[in-house]
């Protein structure tokens, strides 16, 4: 089936009312759209408008609320750039760096977490609530600094997005929020249909937040994350036509679809050295990019595209990772244009809410 109709079916299946009631459960009515949203195949506004054709703004609110979280993180990244890679409001009082081997090897002894880590390695997906558990286990119970574990998770996620990822880890670790997030075995059992007892998490919240790091979590590794970017094939370029630049965050097959143009997906080694991605993720990007007609792949830095200066028109989409791209930068399709974070998410959401009914009618 065609990629876009497959995605459209996923969107048609979203029931925002059931979503609101069940999204925290492992078996909840989540959409699993994130890889397509993060990779720019579809925009949040496209998803939102489809949902609003079938539901009122009130009914759609729980789902749009999550899309707003994504936009909040994105807009912080656009505005503050690399600051998202540093402790935001508070410095984390971490005792360890690297990442716990028990987590890397899916051997924490917490069945739900170990299964979810194995599944992350094979499918590239992890449920939001389990992402929160894993981040809390590492940062707050194991007292690891958040940055390296965040890079490990980003490496494996098909939906890997640096803003949602880094700022979510910081939110859990309490550097981007006012308190750390804790969980216990009861919480895991309740939301993940598990019945495990007697684990090191089988305690009250008070005990969990006070307990020393369990021995099991202490042994750690520095991350050996490697990229395997494909070899660049020789580009066939027609310099009389515009050059459209795609990235791993912008793979929209409908973008300038009617135009005669050179279409090049740029995978810049400099970026991937800083933020490696797994082979699974790379394959997903390349497979997804096949939906873009006539697309060629260039593994190299943009200025090294052969004779790039000969192009009269170069177009890309504005993004924190492409500020050095030459040519025209088109504005991304924001869900809430003109609304910018000035502090907490709740103050951002307050400004977004009045726009929900406009979204429905636009």
Give me the residues that bind ligand FAD (CB under 6 A), please.
Answer: 23, 30-34, 37-38, 66-67, 69-70, 73, 128, 131-132, 135, 153-154, 157, 159-161, 164-165, 168-169, 172
Residue 242 CB, shortest distance to ligand FAD, in Å, is 30
Q: Which is nearer to ligand FAD, 144 or 298 (CB)?
A: 144
Alpha carbon 353 to chain centroid, angstroms: 23
3-state helix, strand, coil in the chain (%, to 5): 50, 10, 45
Phi then psi for residue 56, to 5 deg, are -75, 160
Structure-token match 């640096």, residue found = 162
Distances (CA, A) of 68 to 7, 30, 71: 20, 16, 5
Q: Between residues 53 and 304, which has the closer beta carbon with respect to ligand FAD?
A: 53
Nearer to ligand FAD, 167 or 201 (CB): 167
Q: At its nearest, how many Å lie between ligand FAD and the CB of residue 164?
A: 4
Residue 111 CA to residue 88 CA, distance in Å, equals 32
Closest alpha carbon to 88 in 68, 103, 72, 100: 72
Q: Which is nearer to ligand FAD, 261 or 281 (CB)?
A: 281
- Based on CB atoms, which residue is closest to ligand FAD, 144 or 169? 169
**Nearest Cα to 135, choosing from 85, 87, 174?**
174
d(CA 217, CA 76): 32
Q: Which single residue is written with the structure tokens 């959401």?
A: 349
Rounded least distance, CB 248 to ligand FAD, Å: 12
> What is the CB neighbour count within 10 angstroms for residue 132?
19
| Beta carbon of residue 133, minimum distance to ligand FAD (angstroms, whole number) | 9
CB 315, min distance to ligand FAD, A: 25
- Alpha-carbon distance of 77 to 71, in angstroms, equals 10
Please state the closest distance from residue 283 (CB atom) to ligand FAD, in A: 17
Strands 314-317 and 243-246: parallel
Q: Select 32 or 256, whichever has its Cβ closest to ligand FAD.
A: 32
Residue (30 or 148) nearer to ligand FAD, CB: 30
Integer Cα distance of 94 and 73 in angstroms: 24
The residue written with tokens 């873009």 in the block is 292
Provide, rounded to whole angstroms, the least separation between the CB of residue 33 and ligand FAD: 4
Smallest distance, ligand FAD to C-beta of residue 257, A: 23
Q: How far apart are CA 276 and CA 341, in angstroms?
A: 29
Q: Which is nearer to ligand FAD, 116 or 292 (CB)?
A: 116
Residue listed under structure tokens 């933020």: 275
Give the position of tokens 């739900």: 112
């Amino acid at each position: 089936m065609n990629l876009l109709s497959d995605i459209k079916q996923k969107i048609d299946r979203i029931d925002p009312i059931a979503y609101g009631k069940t999204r925290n459960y492992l078996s909840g009515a989540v959409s699993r759209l994130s890889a397509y949203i993060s990779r720019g195949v579809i925009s949040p506004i496209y998803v939102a408008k489809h949902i609003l054709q079938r539901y009122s703004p009130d009914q759609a609110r729980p789902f749009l609320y999550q899309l707003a979280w994504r936009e909040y993180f994105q807009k912080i990244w656009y505005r503050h750039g690399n600051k998202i890679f540093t402790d935001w409001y508070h410095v984390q009082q971490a005792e360890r760096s690297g990442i716990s081997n028990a987590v890397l090897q899916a051997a924490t002894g917490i069945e739900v977490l170990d299964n979810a880590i194995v599944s992350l390695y094979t499918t590239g997906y992890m449920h939001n609530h389990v992402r929160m558990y894993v981040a809390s286990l590492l940062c707050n119970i194991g007292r690891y600094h958040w940055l390296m574990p965040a890079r490990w998770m980003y490496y494996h996620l098909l939906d890997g997005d640096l803003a949602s990822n880094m700022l979510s880890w910081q939110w859990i670790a309490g550097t981007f929020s006012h308190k750390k997030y804790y969980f216990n075995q009861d919480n895991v059992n309740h939301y993940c249909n598990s019945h495990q007892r007697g684990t090191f998490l089988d305690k009250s919240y008070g005990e969990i937040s006070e307990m020393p790091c369990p021995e099991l979590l202490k042994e750690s590794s520095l991350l050996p994350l490697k990229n395997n970017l494909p070899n660049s094939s020789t580009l066939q370029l027609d310099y009389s036509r515009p050059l459209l630049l795609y990235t791993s965050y912008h793979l929209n097959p409908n973008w300038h679809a009617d135009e005669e143009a050179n279409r090049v997906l740029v995978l810049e080694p400099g970026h991937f050295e800083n933020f490696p991605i797994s082979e699974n993720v790379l394959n997903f990007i390349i497979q997804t990019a096949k939906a873009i007609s006539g697309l060629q792949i260039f593994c190299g830095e943009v200025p090294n595209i052969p004779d790039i200066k000969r192009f009269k028109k170069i177009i890309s989409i504005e993004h924190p990772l492409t500020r050095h791209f030459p040519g025209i930068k088109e504005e991304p399709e924001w869900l809430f244009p003109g609304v910018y974070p000035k502090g907490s998410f709740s103050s951002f959401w307050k400004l977004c809410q009045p726009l929900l009914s406009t979204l429905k009618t636009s």
